[in-house]
Amino acid sequence: MSAASNSDRDNAARDLLRVLFDAALAAADPACAILPYLPEPVAGRTVVVGAGKASAAMARASEEAWEGRLDGLVVTRHGHGVPCERIRIVEASHPVPDAAGEQAARDILALAQGLGPEDQLVCLVSGGGSALLTLPASGLTLADKQGVTQALLRSGATIGEINTVRKHLSAIKGGRLAAAAAPARVVTLAISDVPGDDPAVIASGPTVPDPTTFADARAVLAKYGITEPKAVIAHLAEARDETPKPGDARLARSDYKLIASPQRALAAAAEAALARHITPIVLSDRVEGEARDVAAMHAAIAVQLRAGQFRVGHEIVTPPAVLLSGGETTVTVQGKGRGGRNSEFLLALAAALAKDLVGSGGIYALACDTDGIDGTEDNAGAIVYPNTVARAASRGTAIKEALAGNDSYGFFAALGDLVVTGPTLTNVNDFRAILILDR
């Protein structure tokens, strides 16, 4: 095949992967997703609060559709705010909390505490809410929460484990916000960014019962060898003021509605693939684990399909096909490079595919965080081509060194293969698409 035809094939594959990603984002657009779920007005006040990367977009859609009195406050990540007229928007730090997030959480709790039985609290939560809605429990400081958050993020802990700890260091998470609003009605509208869509994990479940305990939180820190800050360890050991549990009377008037999810986003991408005569294979919306381990498994499946040996029932699935998956992988940081879990996944995927020179040709991949920010950099993710490793080597970059240094951002930036979208104003977690073309 000529260089020109290779280039055309690469461009077509890249464009197709972006079409699938855009379809997934459209399915999670807060402006469209929230409207069917808005509650009816009540006799008293309706106050809107919330936290997460999509919360400002959710707030704007809510107030545009709402007739009558409405006020409130939501906190979102820096760069993810949108203008609202009646709901105050605060931008704060993510994934490590800051003073702006702490003050916003304090103000949100005060709004909830001021409601009566004729009022309702509409809570808009989405991915990122755990870090943004930060209000330390009595005896703890913001610095304490920052310290343990940084340690957990570097440890490779899952989002469920991290949020178990967060809930037991908080004065507002783990059902405490709904308890503070009682006896008002509470309606939570959520966009899921967690595997399994567990309401108690999304934004650390500020309005739902918490099935986890102080003992669970202590076990997480012990598992990863985290022994600092000392105030955090002492607070968890004292185990005073447990989070509201299922059956708590204070949460009796709390209603929860999931308005967008990773599975719905993957389904939309699958439909977009079918419309282009590409067979979609949705592996799972709840994939967890170390990013490079998950990549190795995805690579094995892609090569199996490419070789004409991927069987479903009596049928052999043949290219063109696309493997779709979501969830939230983790990265145990060892090096000093830059990058997020999606670009780390792709780096490991490219390395795994390069080991099978016969079976991996014609395989392309995109992995992006649906909020538009992979980790702490400016990219949503990146794209892998069949010649990714070879092109890097021609520039003097060894993929093994990039993996060892956790420098996925630098690796893909040098190749010009980053995907940069800017904040998407939604968040249904990671999106991965591996495209397998005809031989």
Angle between helix axes 291-306 and 341-354 (nearest 10 degrees) is 40
DSSP conformation letters of 244-287: P-TT-GGGTTEEEEEEE-HHHHHHHHHHHHHHTT-EEEEEEEEE
> What distance in Å separates the CA atoms of residue 248 and residue 256, rounded to the nearest whole number?
15
**pLDDT at 4 exceeding the cut of 90:** no
pLDDT tens-digit series, residues 77-105 = 999 999 999 999 999 999 999 999 999 99
In this prediction, residues 239-265 reach a mean pLDDT of: 97
Indicate the pLDDT class of residue 384, thresholds 50, 70 and 90.
Answer: very high
What is the average pLDDT score of the chain? 95
- Cα-Cα-Cα-Cα dihedral sign, residues 133, 160, 205, 199: positive
pLDDT the model gives residue 439: 63
Contacts of 3 (CB under 8 A, 6+ apart): none
pLDDT the model gives residue 183: 97
Percentage of the chain exceeding pLDDT 90:
90
pLDDT the model gives residue 78: 95
pLDDT tens-digit series, residues 136-159 = 999 999 999 999 999 999 898 999
**pLDDT at 358 exceeding the cut of 60:** no
pLDDT the model gives residue 3: 60
End-to-end CA distance of the chain: 12
253 token code pair: 């008037």
Indicate the pLDDT class of residue 337, thresholds 50, 70 and 90.
Answer: confident
pLDDT the model gives residue 233: 98
Q: Can you give the pTM of this predicted structure?
A: 0.89
Indicate the pLDDT class of residue 387, thresholds 50, 70 and 90.
Answer: very high
Torsions phi, psi for 365 (to 5 deg): -150, 145
The CA–CA distances, whole Å, from 431 to 284, 292, 342, 371 equal 11, 15, 8, 10
Q: Are 124 and 202 in contact (CB under 8 A)?
A: no
pLDDT tens-digit series, residues 197-217 = 999 999 999 999 999 999 999
